[in-house]
Copies of this chain bind each other. A is one copy, B any other.
Amino acid sequence: MVERLYLYDTTLRDGQQTQGVQFSTQEKRAIAAMLDELGVDYIEGGWPGANPTDSEFFEDLPKTRARVTAFGMTKRAGRSADNDDVLAAVMNAGTSAVCLVGKTHDFHVETALGISLDENVENISTSVAHVVSAGREALFDAEHFFDGYKSNPDYTLRAAKAAYDAGARWVVLCDTNGGALPHDVRGATKALIEAGVPGDHIGIHTHNDTENAVANSLVAVAAGARHIQGTLNGLGERCGNANLTTLIPTLLLKDPYASQFETGVSMETLKDLRKASRMLDEVLNRVPHKQAAYVGASAFAHKAGLHASAIAKDPSTYEHIDPSLVGNSRIVPMSNQAGQSNLRERLSSMGLDVAKGDPALQRILDRVKEREAAGYSYDTAQASFEVLAREELGLMPEFFEVKRYRVTVERRRNKRNEMVSLSEAVVVVKVDGVKTMSVSESLGPDGSDQGPVNALSRALMKDLGRYATDVSDIRLTDFKVRITNGGTEAVTRVIIDSEDGQGRTWSTVGVSANIVDASFDALVDAIRWKLVRDGAVT
């Protein structure tokens, strides 16, 4: 009999504990939408009341199939659940599910909270009952469950069971400090089931401090748990949380899990896993981890000569799964054949059908290779890739020529003795044989300086002759900069995301030691892509 296994994503809450990670509300919404499409069951949105971004996220709950969950803590001692303002903020978020963390380790109850063991159990029961009586689904996060079980097994089991008895849909066993090993998790999970909490009410929440977060999640499921918490790309405090990007394909593709369970993620949405992983990296402006399980760029790269030649005979000789199942692909260095068929597929998805064996294919591959060695990256900058490919295919009009530009940034005191800055750009372009010279300042809606790239973009689009209307609705939505290696020198890579009036979005890339130059090139690519896609007449 196939059983249901529930996936609970906490990228937006525990994932935000990663050093250097701070989502905006808009980014949280985008990630939630992606998680929903992937098929997770719960999306933990944050802790309402803990910080402005989390509160704002809950003010306008996203419409998802997945349950958006608010996180908080059990009521404090000495007040009723109704009178606890922290708990009230969580309840007021209005989510259909609420997850409350509480203590189950005697040491923490006595030293961190400074209350009696009985009071703590009472806080857990009352808080869970409060959530349930409000008609919400209650989840209880049993903090330090595994450490507690080692220290005082009876008390830890009693505290966890109190949550179940009070009506918690899930009692989630947390390895808060991340130090538990698989045999610890197996033993304590089984003990809780024996103590009377059924496995289909038990969840697992692990951390990667000993690189066992995935194994600990799997062993908990083997012991009976039916709910797994984790984050995309294993984001999370310290060494991160259990990596859902790894757990999902393992559960769907490997026995005994694959034959025993079903999850909200289907074999169809599994194909978007690599894309989802990359999208999160993009939002965070992080370099994707090449060696990531399943989705990493190196996950199916076969460098060893013996492996590569066997792979050519039969991929299953050195691959544990078919990479396309997770939207990834094989990399075999020196394999131009694979390169060309991939390329034709990619071009075809852009509406460019190129015959097998067309010499332009090799020219495109060579140019991509050469430019990637110089620091470019076409993984996300699809529009720049299309411009490059169209050039080689003779399908890219020039539209306009940039003769020169100059941009000045100045910071000085104004008449009121305030430090102010100002950017000014001059761009000279030639359209239809006519040279035009445009100048623009860069001023935001409030009259403040928006910087040199903004000034350049305005000056460039100010007078593009017959293309003026075509480009009038282009808006720059994001701008990412990274220092990377271009050959032996460090260069700047700029990725610009653009959007137009039709809601179309596209990304372009520019590379130069000079950040303004790199930005300008990405900007020009963005305009050219829009013109060619709109069929602007040359």
> Could you list which residues of chain A lie within 8 angstroms of chain B, going by C-beta atoms?
17-22, 24, 26, 50-52, 107-108, 111-112, 176-179, 181-183, 208-216, 218-219, 222, 234, 237-240, 243, 246, 250, 254, 256, 285, 287, 289-294, 296-304, 307, 310, 313-314, 317-321, 331, 333, 335-337, 372-373, 377, 379-380, 402-413, 421, 423, 442, 444-446, 448-454, 478-485, 489, 492, 512-517, 520
Closest Cβ–Cβ distance, residue A14 to chain B (whole Å): 9
On whether the beta carbons of A480 and B478 are closer than 8 Å, the reply is no
Q: Of B179, B183, B222, B380, which one neighbours A183 at CB under 8 angstroms?
A: B222
Interface pair A483/B479, CB less than 8 Å apart: yes
**Cα(A310)–Cα(B236), bound, Å:** 19
CB-CB under 8 A from A294, the residues of chain B are 209-210
B210 touches A254 (CB 8 A): yes
Shortest beta-carbon distance from A402 to chain B in Å: 8
Interface pairs A-B: 5 shortest CB-CB:
A179-B320, A215-B215, A481-B481, A451-B514, A404-B412
> Are B380 and A20 neighbours in the complex by a CB distance under 8 Å?
yes
Given known A-B contacts A112-B310, A444-B489, A237 and B22 have beta carbons under 8 A apart: no
Q: Measured between C-beta atoms, what is the minimum distance from A440 to chain B in Å?
A: 14
- Say which residue of B183, B413, B513 sits within 8 Å of A450 (CB atoms): B513
| Cα separation A111 to B318 with both chains bound (whole Å) | 13
Docked-complex contact A320 and B513, CB < 8 angstroms: no
Cβ contact within 8 Å between B299 and A24: no
With A246-B211, A321-B179, A492-B451 in contact, do A517 and B421 touch (Cβ < 8 Å)? yes
Q: Chain B residues near A291 (CB, 8 Å)? A: 18, 208, 234, 238-240
Closest beta carbon of chain B to A58's beta carbon, Å: 17
Closest to A217 in B: B211
Q: Are A19 and B380 in contact (CB under 8 A)?
A: yes
For A18, what are the chain B residues with a Cβ–Cβ distance below 8 Å? Answer: 291, 298, 303
Q: Which residues of B contact A297 (CB under 8 A)?
A: 19
Residues of B within 8 A of A320 (CB): 177-179, 209-210
A408 B407 Cβ-Cβ under 8 A: yes
Q: Which residue of B lies closest to A22 (CB)?
A: B377
Residues of B within 8 A of A301 (CB): 19, 237-238
Complexed CA–CA distance, A452 and B299 (Å): 39
CB A498 to nearest CB in B, in angstroms, measures 13
- The closest CB in chain B to the CB of A287 belongs to B287
Residue among B52, B303, B407, B484 making CB contact with A19, cutoff 8 Å: B303
Q: Which of A20, A111, A449, A482 has the most CB of B within 10 A?
A: A20
Q: How far is the CB of A301 from the nearest CB of chain B, in Å?
A: 5
21 A-B pairs, CB-CB below 8 angstroms?
A: A19-B380, A21-B379, A51-B336, A51-B337, A111-B313, A112-B317, A178-B320, A181-B218, A182-B215, A215-B215, A237-B307, A238-B300, A406-B411, A408-B408, A423-B516, A444-B513, A449-B514, A450-B513, A452-B452, A479-B481, A481-B515
In the complex, what residues of B have CB within 8 A of residue A372's CB? 22
| Contact between chains at B453 and A515 (CB < 8 Å) | yes
Q: Which of B214, B313, B483 contacts A112 (CB 8 A)?
A: B313
With a cutoff of 8 Å between Cβ atoms, the chain B residues found around residue A449 in the complex are 513-514, 517
Q: Given B26, B222, B411, which contacts A404 in the complex, CB threshold below 8 Å?
A: B411
Q: Are A379 and B489 in contact (CB under 8 A)?
A: no
> Which residues from B are CB-within-8-Å of A452?
409, 452, 514-516
Check A483 against B478 for contact (C-beta < 8 Å).
Answer: yes
Which residues of B are found within 8 Å of A303, using beta-carbon distances? Answer: 17-19, 237
| Contact present for B20 and A451 (CB under 8 Å) | no
* Among A297, A333, A449: residue with most chain B CB under 10 A: A449
Structural contact, A314 and B19, CB atoms closer than 8 A? no
- The answer to whether A239 and B51 touch (CB under 8 A), given A181-B254, A320-B177, is no
Beyond known contacts A51-B336, A406-B411, A423-B514: 16 more, CB 8 A cutoff: A19-B331, A20-B379, A22-B377, A22-B484, A26-B485, A108-B310, A181-B250, A212-B215, A239-B292, A239-B299, A405-B411, A406-B410, A407-B408, A408-B408, A421-B514, A452-B452
Return the chain B residue nearest A307 by Cβ.
Answer: B237
Q: Pick the contact of A314: B111, B237, B514 (CB < 8 A).
A: B111
Decide: B451 and A516 in contact? CB cutoff 8 A: yes
Q: Known contacts A178-B320, A293-B209, A301-B238; is A520 also within 8 Å of B411 by CB? A: yes
Contacting pair A515 B237 (CB below 8 A): no
Q: CB-CB < 8 A to A478: which residues of B?
A: 483
Q: In the bound complex, what is the Cα–Cα distance between A449 and B517 (angstroms)?
A: 10
Closest B residue to A478 by beta carbon equals B483
A21 to B479 Cα, complex, angstroms: 17
For A321, the chain B residues whose CB sits under 8 A away are: 179
Q: Are A515 and B513 in contact (CB under 8 A)?
A: no
Tell me the smallest distance from the CB of A29 to a CB of chain B, in Å.
13
- Residues of the B chain whose Cβ atoms lie less than 8 Å from the Cβ of A423: 514, 516
- Collect the chain B residues with CB atoms within 8 Å of residue A300's CB: 238
Cβ of A181: which chain B residues have Cβ within 8 Å of it? 218, 250, 254
